[in-house]
Amino acid sequence: MKFSDRLGKLSPYPFVEISRIIAEKRAAGVDVVTFGIGDPDIPTPQPIIDRLLKASQDPPNHRYPETDGLPELRRAIAYWYDQRFGVKLDPDKEVLPLIGAKEGIGHAAFCFLDPGDVALVPDPAYPVYNVGTMFAGAESHVMPLYERNGWLPELDAIPADVAKAAKLMWLNYPNNPTSAVATEEDFVSAISYCRDNDIALLHDAAYSEVGYDGYKASSFMQVDGSAEVGMEFHSLSKTYNMTGWRIGMAVGNADMIKALFQIKANLDSGVPQAVQEMAIEALTSSQDCVDENVAIYQRRRDRVLKALGKLGLRTPVPRASLYIWAAIPEGFTSAEFAARLLDETDIVVTPGSSYGKFGEGYIRLSLTTPDDRVEEGCRRLENLVTYLAERLSPYLNEQYPPSRNPK
């Protein structure tokens, strides 16, 4: 049996591989501390669960949902955008519920890209931007993100012929994996560039509600001209600890929303209505749970930064997102450094190279690990202060002398 060529182009999805490694280690009795996957450990707030329990008893919710979701949910999404960002949306034309933002991001490529077209994709970045482009038969042109530029794309560096061929640009702020943030001025520049080159601008805003030290992220949709050129993707996963329930939304340009609806109507059956009821509760009730979550993540951020600082790793303080993006010592690739941490300390981190060529030289640590495990991981990291010099030498071919185990 011959499978499609696109399967041969797929790399192993990094988080599937991380889950496999963790499972193998734990099956062998190893006490693994994972800073790998950005999957909130905090439970979904109880009022949202209560809404699910009630909705699950309603027989109409046992049937197929509509692709465009319950009208009440679309109105709730529009209400939330108005309350949070001051953005007015038409719930019937500018809002579309998703089976999680990932689903919408993957399907969006089919709205804009034909074989031979070009998508402008940041690097390092969430892998689905590239995968969706490849599935559509198009090509990705990498927009390198550099620390020197605040992990923002250098639009002036995109060749004119590439800009002419491009049909789609992806942005993501607050950023995964770098934790970088964008200003409204940054969005203005991107909107102007895409308008001038007739490019659809798609913004992934999944981490907008995880901001530290009082920081509040802007929405791309707040900026004049955004609805002319683009859509924004959002998720309830990180905001309300709902990764397992699979619900998100796309908002923005009405024609783009209609196009995404057409793709989805032919490929999926929408979000279960009981889960939509959960989202209505989350978006329209008290947002105190969001502030409580952020306080927990900020406390963990500060603890992990302290441990990494003792190691001498260069780690700018994140203003947002669930991640710390740390530069690794010279002499390692990010995969080698992550493998050494796992082998020597049973700590899981994500190599920066999992997010693309320009993620090399960094590791990503997620803050979605229970407090006691964060503390245990930090203890192990702090025990590496002298251990790094002995066994995690920047020279991989060095013969390491016996050393105490940092675990």
Q: How far apart are CA 190 and CA 118, in angstroms?
A: 17
Could you give the residue ranges of the DSSP H alpha helices within 330-404?
334-345, 371-382, 384-390
E strands, 270-367, are 323-327, 347-348, 350-351, 362-366
**DSSP category for residue 235:** E
Q: Where are the domains of the chain?
A: 5-43+289-390, 46-284
- Using CB atoms within 10 A of its CB, is residue 390 exposed (0-12), middle (13-18) or buried (19+)? middle
In tens digits, the chain (407 residues) has pLDDT values of 989 988 888 887 777 777 888 888 888 898 999 999 999 999 999 999 999 999 999 999 999 999 999 999 999 999 999 999 999 999 999 999 999 999 999 999 999 999 999 999 999 999 999 999 999 999 999 999 999 999 999 999 999 999 999 999 999 999 999 999 999 999 999 999 999 999 999 999 999 999 999 999 999 999 999 999 999 999 999 999 999 999 999 999 999 999 999 999 999 999 999 999 999 999 999 999 999 999 999 999 999 999 999 988 989 999 999 999 999 999 999 999 999 999 889 999 999 999 999 999 999 999 999 999 999 999 999 998 766 555 544 433 343 333 434 55
User: Can you spell out the DSSP letters for 56-67?
Assistant: TTSGGGGSPPPT
| pTM of the entire predicted model | 0.93
Distances (CA, A) of 158 to 194, 246, 259: 12, 35, 27
- Tokens matching residue 10: 């797929």
- Tokens matching residue 141: 């042109």
E strands, 264-352, are 323-327, 347-348, 350-351
**Which numeric CATH code is attached to 46-284?**
3.40.640.10
5-43+289-390 CATH choice from 3.20.20.140, 3.30.43.10, 3.30.360.10, 3.90.1150.10: 3.90.1150.10
CB 72 within 8 A of CB 224: no
For the chain, what's the residue count? 407
Distances (CA, A) of 120 to 187, 231, 251: 15, 15, 20
| CA of residue 385 relative to chain centroid, distance | 31
